[in-house]
Amino acid sequence: MLGPIARLALFGGSALCAALTAFIAARASRYTPAGAVLAVGTLAAVTVVLGYAALRFRVPISLRIVRELAMAVVGLLVVEFMIAVLAPPNPSRQAERMRAAQRVAVAFDGRTKSEVVSDLRAQGQDVLPGLSREWPRLAAVRQQLPDGLFPLGNAGLTRIVECNEGGEYVLFDSDEFGFNNPRGILASRLVDVAVVGESFTVGHCVPPDRNLVSVLRHTYPRTVNLGIAGTSTLTMLASFREYVEPVRPPLVLWIINPNTVDGWNELKDPLLARYFDRQFRQGLIGRQAEVDRAWRDIAVGVQYEFDRRSLVVIKEAADARFSNILFLPRLRERVRLDAPLLRPAAPVDLSLFQRAVRLARQTTLEWGGDFIVVIMPLYEDVVIRQMSASQRHEHLAQVLRAEGIDVIDTAAIFASQRDPAALYTMRINNHPNIEGHQLIGRTIVDELSNRRLPTLTRAVSPVSVAARNR
């Protein structure tokens, strides 16, 4: 009786392997030629071996093979189940951060950003959620904005709830144009250093007086921070056109990370694409009242909808936690046996990024300023080294320097540390912690002191004042 069952099981395994072979063969374009041959050939060989065993092997041997295979399958399912129990999926970055905080016994504010805004407003505070420059590119947001307006900053003169990576929400008081600056600096137009950039620049996710720009401001008080989260190539160029060109500072720092160099999605926006025309501007400095009205009308609702969708995704992930356990998704994700066989990802086309940087640099040089690109240390780049080769900091620095563009590579400084993960909030894929921001800021200041740059207004130390008064 056991003999036919064993043979049936072996035939079933052979049929399953044959189906898997056909599936892999249909997706052979994902693999290198050698990888496709190896993957398909291995599965085909297993198919043949199992079929041959079902037909030719004696019953005791067949039973032993089936028993061993069954034990292996049960073992894999147990491992998959344990992963699902002990390491549930992280359907959102915030859920990942909350679990990381639990591991290191750090209290974590689990409220959504819109809940924080609501609670602070109930206390009578004038508060708005921090925006992402991706927002105006979304149809649901764009249709609520005035025609022809693509805001690049938050509402001005309000408290902004920005982000939470380390347990507490970071808030800052926006300047007259919605940026993370002391009020009056940009409005005065007496600017020495303009820092154009993304989430690293705005200060994710450390207190405003501890971020990298605050370190610069200790040495160069007339430094303005024009960073906003969700920034890429064209929104950086747009920020430069709208807020830097009118003040013509002696020094422009162009802050990038490996993700910001892929700006092709932004090129799909007709308004952003117009910033390659040197005559085009929205005139946002003069339209700040319009920007304020727009964000005060819709920002809270937009953030609420993002948070609502995120909570739905988290609930769906929790509900489906054990639903597909037979397919071993978590185990396959961790082992990734076929990873060495896959075709490498196509290199990112940097031509759009290079064009924008060249244009901003040339414009800066024309008014007599200096222009430096500063590469930020992305966790995927310097800790786990999972960036594509075309986006790694070394390659970006090489490409820029080949065009004669001055570069400060802070990612190289992070990578040279004994434990670079210690410079990131909770040692996971977050932005740098306070120590990391301080290291970036000090590196930039040190690099600037080694360059022959225009005379910048420097902070006067108490020691210098005392010496001068003697």
* Of the residues 71, 86, 101, the one at which a domain ends: 86
Same domain, 34 and 141: no
- For residues 437 and 210, give the distance between their C-alpha atoms in angstroms, rounded to a whole number: 7
For residue 321, the SS3 value is coil
- For residues 266 and 25, give the distance between their C-alpha atoms in angstroms, rounded to a whole number: 36
Q: Assess whether pLDDT exceeds 60 at residue 465.
A: no
Q: Assess whether pLDDT exceeds 70 at residue 11.
A: yes
Q: pLDDT band for position 463 (50/70/90)?
A: very low
Q: What is the pLDDT of residue 1?
A: 63
Domain containing residue 70 = 2-86
Residues 25-54, mean pLDDT to the nearest whole number: 92
- For residues 355 and 365, give the distance between their C-alpha atoms in angstroms, rounded to a whole number: 15
Residues 426-448, mean pLDDT to the nearest whole number: 97
Within 10 Å of residue 358's Cβ, how many Cβ atoms? 15
Same domain, 283 and 200: yes
Q: pLDDT band for position 20 (50/70/90)?
A: very high
Q: Please report whether residue 330 resides in a domain.
A: no
Q: What is the pLDDT of residue 343?
A: 87
| Residue 436 near residue 377, CB atoms below 8 Å | yes
Residues 61-81, mean pLDDT to the nearest whole number: 92
Please state the domain count of the chain: 2
Same domain, 136 and 278: yes
Q: Assess whether pLDDT exceeds 50 at residue 285.
A: yes
Between 249 and 464, residue with greater pLDDT: 249
Quick one: tokens of 313? 């995704």
| Residue 372 near residue 408, CB atoms below 8 Å | yes
Q: What is the pLDDT of residue 92?
A: 83
Q: Assess whether pLDDT exceeds 70 at residue 462.
A: no
Q: Please report whether residue 158 resides in a domain.
A: yes
Same domain, 379 and 453: yes
Q: What is the pLDDT of residue 90?
A: 77
List, in order, residues 6 or more apart from 113 with CB less than 8 Å away.
129, 130, 161, 163, 164, 169, 303, 307
Same domain, 65 and 119: no
Specify the pTM: 0.90
Residues 62-87, mean pLDDT to the nearest whole number: 90
Same domain, 356 and 440: yes
Any idea which residue has 């005060």 for tokens?
296
The CATH code of the domain that includes 405 is 3.40.50.1110
Q: What is the pLDDT of residue 467?
A: 42
pLDDT digits (tens, 9 = 90+) for 222-267: 999 999 999 999 999 999 999 999 999 999 999 999 999 999 999 9
| Residue 113 near residue 310, CB atoms below 8 Å | no
Same domain, 82 and 122: no
Q: Assess whether pLDDT exceeds 70 at residue 469.
A: no
Q: pLDDT band for position 461 (50/70/90)?
A: low
Q: Assess whether pLDDT exceeds 60 at residue 118.
A: yes
Q: pLDDT band for position 468 (50/70/90)?
A: very low
Q: Please report whether residue 94 resides in a domain.
A: no
Q: Assess whether pLDDT exceeds 70 at residue 373.
A: yes
Q: What is the pLDDT of residue 460?
A: 59
Q: Please report whether residue 444 resides in a domain.
A: yes
Q: What is the pLDDT of residue 464?
A: 45
pLDDT digits (tens, 9 = 90+) for 292-328: 999 999 999 999 999 999 999 888 888 888 888 888 8
Same domain, 72 and 201: no
Q: Assess whether pLDDT exceeds 90 at residue 341.
A: no
Q: Please report whether residue 171 resides in a domain.
A: yes
Q: Beta strand pairing status for 170-173 and 159-163?
A: antiparallel
Within 10 Å of residue 23's Cβ, how many Cβ atoms? 10
Of the candidate ranges 49-58, 177-186, 198-207, the one whose mean pLDDT is the lowest: 49-58
* Of the residues 86, 105, 140, the one at which a domain ends: 86
Between 329 and 368, residue with greater pLDDT: 368
Name the nearest CA neighbour of 239 among 250, 255, 258: 255
Name the nearest CA neighbour of 74 among 323, 338, 330, 325: 325
* Of the residues 51, 86, 121, the one at which a domain ends: 86
Q: Please report whether residue 335 resides in a domain.
A: no
Name the nearest CA neighbour of 337 among 10, 57, 38, 95: 38
Q: Please report whether residue 465 resides in a domain.
A: no
List, in order, residues 6 or more apart from 181 with CB less than 8 Å away.
175, 224, 225
Mean of all residue pLDDT scores within the chain: 93
Same domain, 203 and 274: yes
Q: What is the pLDDT of residue 337?
A: 81
| Residue 159 near residue 151, CB atoms below 8 Å | no
Same domain, 297 and 390: yes
Same domain, 44 and 145: no
Same domain, 74 and 217: no
Q: Assess whether pLDDT exceeds 90 at residue 85.
A: no
Q: Assess whether pLDDT exceeds 90 at residue 89.
A: no
| Residue 220 near residue 457, CB atoms below 8 Å | yes
pLDDT digits (tens, 9 = 90+) for 128-154: 999 999 999 999 999 999 999 999 999
- For residues 313 and 333, give the distance between their C-alpha atoms in angstroms, rounded to a whole number: 20
Q: Please report whether residue 327 resides in a domain.
A: no
